Amino acid sequence: MADKPVRADKATAVAELTESFRSSTATVLTEYRGLTVAQLKQLRRSMGADTTYAVAKNTLAKRAATDAGITGLDDLFTGPTALAFVSGDVVEAAKGLREFAKTNPLLVIKGGVFEGKAMTADEIRKLADLESREVLLAKLAGAMKGNLSKAAALFQAPLAKTARLAAALQDKREKDSA
C-alpha cells in the first residue's frame, strides 16, 4: 500500500521534528492535557535554556521519530503529546520535569529516548535522581587531585628518605671524627 501524498506544511513539520530528534541528546515525551498556557511557560523555564518543548501531532511525531531512526516509541504517541528536545544537560531537564510534575500532576511523563535508546518513564525519573554534570565533574576532579597528591608524596618519599640517611651518616662521621 502506497503512502498518501503528504501536504507541504506537514512535510515541513515532519522534517523539523526529524531534525530535532537527530540533534537532541535526549527527547522526553509528555502528556500535557489540562495544563494552562501559563503552566506550560513555567514548564519550559524549569527545564533549562537548552531544552525546547513543543506540542506535536502524534502521527507527525511518530513519522519524524521513524525518519530519525528512533524505535520503541510508537506506543507512547497516544493522547495529547508534547516533546521536550534536550540539547544540553539531560539530568537538568529531567529534574525540571520531575519538579514541575510534583506541583502539577496533570503533566505525565510517558517516556523518551536518550542517545538513541528508548527509555521508560521510570528510567527518566532515575535520570532526575543523578547529580548534574558539573557536580559529577567536580567530584571527579577532586578525586583525581587527591590521587595525584598521594602519588607525588609517594614519589618524593624515597628521595626524602635518602636525604635523611645521608644527613645521618654525615652527623655520625662528624661525631666519630671529633
Tell me the per-residue pLDDT of 72-116, one tens digit each, with 9 for 90 and over.
888 888 888 889 999 888 888 888 888 888 888 888 888 888 887
Instruction: Say yes or no: 85 and 114 in one domain.
Output: yes
Instruction: Say yes or no: 140 and 116 in one domain.
Output: no
| Domain-embedded: residue 3 | no
CA distances (Å), origin 97, targets 81, 112, 117, 119, 136: 15, 12, 19, 15, 20
Percent pLDDT > 90 in the chain is 2
Do 51 and 85 touch, CB atoms closer than 8 A? yes
Q: How many whole angstroms from its chain centre is CA 152?
A: 35
Instruction: Say yes or no: 38 and 109 in one domain.
Output: yes
Do 54 and 5 touch, CB atoms closer than 8 A? no
When divided into structural domains, the chain yields a total of: 2
Global model pTM greater than 0.95: no
In which band, very low, low, confident or very high, does the pLDDT at 1 lie, cut at 50, 70 and 90? very low
Domain hosting 112: range is 8-130
Q: Which residue is listed with cell 506541583?
A: 103
CA 123 – CA 134 distance, rounded (Å): 21
